[in-house]
Amino acid sequence: MADSVFNLSLFQKEPVMGILRGVTEDSLDGVLETAISAGLKFLEITWNTPRADFLIDKAAQKYSDQISLGAGTIRSVEDAQKALDSGAEFLVSPGLNEKVAAFCRDNNTAYFPGALTPTEIETAWSLGAVMVKVFPSSQFGPGYFKLVKGPLQDVKLMAVGGVGPGNVHEYLHAGADAVALGGSIFSVDRMENKEFLAIRKDIEEFLLAVRNFYSNITTKALAG
């Protein structure tokens, strides 16, 4: 993965990924400019968004120097290739697709496959995932990450689904290495109605909660 465009070191410093599902060309610029101004550095556009390839290409041409853009909901090698051709810097899947994993290894592309059980998580990691997307996290809660991290402490996990400013510290404290914000902030209605101030406020609140968590960890380490 060393040659991947995706900057894993930067992601690990502030491990928050935005998920755009259902964004349109009309609202794309406004949503991305809002996300960037709020401080978000990594964002995926899901492949099941209409004209996803066109939207990723447009976004990459205009904003790739300000935000790292990926493609989500990638379920085939064909879609993976199209996503990279459109300018995606990393790929995300709802589950583990071994053919997509092999494609990403062959193309030095960062891959975030979805998994849930310890067997699925370990398999995804062994096939080259830079981080395993635990989805849907809300169905098992933060405590699940602590249990999984016991035997799989070297595996990087991203909590996706049901994570918000009020509970993000619980997931991070339990062992999640990254978190994602999606439909609760980037809802289709909000994007269509161009409620950019509300979107920005919620992103900033989410990022602040993450930053406060890591700041407290650093403070305790220095004090100890």
Structural domains of the chain, with CATH: 8-223 (3.20.20.70)
Give tens-digit pLDDT for 32-69.
999 999 999 999 999 999 999 999 999 999 999 999 99
Is residue 198's pLDDT more than 90?
yes
Residue 25 and residue 65: Cα distance in Å, rounded?
A: 20
- Give the tens place of pLDDT for each residue, 69-102: 999 999 999 999 999 999 999 999 999 999 999 9
Mean pLDDT of 145-149: 97
Report how far apart, in Å, the C-alpha atoms of 71 and of each of 54, 74, 90 are. Answer: 12, 7, 6
Residues 22-40: what's their mean pLDDT? Answer: 98
Q: What is the DSSP letter of 185?
A: T
